[in-house]
Structure 1
Amino acid sequence: METSNQKTRVTVQAVIQAPSEKVWRYWSEPEHITKWNQASETWHSPRAENDLRVGGKFLTRMEAKDGSMGFDFSGIYDVVKQNEQISYTVGDGRKVDITFIDNGNETKVVEIFDAESTQPIEIQQAGWQAILDNFKRYTEKI
């Protein structure tokens, strides 16, 4: 019998050279999400829906570009503080906390998520960091 309900929390972060209002908008608007939300060039997010409010739902369709696999990443928002914080619970019960730290013309984004039990922690961290790095590149170039 397992007695520990401890979940491993993983952190990824990036400093985006843009004010928090722009970072928030690009993070949360579906037309932007579909442009940056992939871990590699072989994947994409052809569709995103986002009801950014406490109790609101989001869904991002993530697919391999060759059509070999895909999945819906979805959840429900627990905390929404505009330009500051987003927390949500994904379908399998894992929690994600995102903080946007405003420093004038740059914004630090820190994501802390519950690791899943099916993949090594290092792989999960690398994938989430790759997505965050894509977000940084996209937001800074537009």
Structure 2
Amino acid sequence: MRFCIEAFANASVREVWCAHHNPAIAQRWVRSDDWFADRCEIDARTSGAFRVRIRSIGSQAAYEIEGVYVELRPPDLSVQILDGDMHVRTEFVSEGEGTRIRQYVESNAMSDPQAQQACWQGVLNNFAAYFTGRGQNRARK
């Protein structure tokens, strides 16, 4: 199964790239109505690992998402493999006064693809919303 999602962020490609690979910032936008990230570790380099612990809102249920970066070309491209099977290619493209973020997600073991796509889109929308109204408080690295 494969799908593509996208969102627009009101920030430069460099700012968006830095925020996307900053664990303290990622912990704020990796969330939904039902769960949130309570821990995030990112080693943003080729062959570097990342780990996000997801916790259910209203219970103690938690699970971890782990992966490795297989290609990084700052500030334009990030390719990663999650949990050994899911491949994610994220492109950051300058567009007008901001950045278009496109994610191509592919997995052979994806259950309920429409729900997965909706969840990924929601998280990407949270990321783009991080830049709305942030002014000079935008992520810098």
Range of TM-score over shorter length: 0.7 to 0.9
Does residue 29 in structure 1 map to residue 5 in structure 2? no
Does residue 136 in structure 1 map to residue 123 in structure 2? no
**Which runs of structure 2 are paired with 1:21-100 in the superposition (5 Å)?**
21-38=14-31, 40-100=32-92
Q: Which consecutive unaligned segments of at least 5 residues does structure 1 have?
A: 1-7
Q: CA 1:141–1:119 in structure 2 vs 1: closer, same or farther (change >3 Å)?
A: farther
TM-score w.r.t. the length of structure 1 is 0.87
RMSD between superposed Cα atoms in Å: 1.4
% identical aligned pairs: 23
Does residue 112 in structure 1 map to residue 108 in structure 2? no
- Give the counterpart letter for 1:120 in structure 2: D
Shift in Å, 1:131: 0.2
Deviations 1:33-52 (A, max 9, x none): 010001x2331111100000
Shift in Å, 1:116: 5.1
The match for 2:139 is none
Matched pairs, number: 134
Does residue 19 in structure 1 map to residue 16 in structure 2? no
CA distance in 2, matches of 1:139, 1:63: 24
- Give the counterpart letter for 1:79 in structure 2: E
Q: CA 1:115–1:141 in structure 2 vs 1: closer, same or farther (change >3 Å)?
A: farther
Shift in Å, 1:68: 4.3
Q: Which consecutive unaligned segments of at least 5 residues does structure 2 have?
A: 135-141
TM-score w.r.t. the length of structure 2 is 0.88
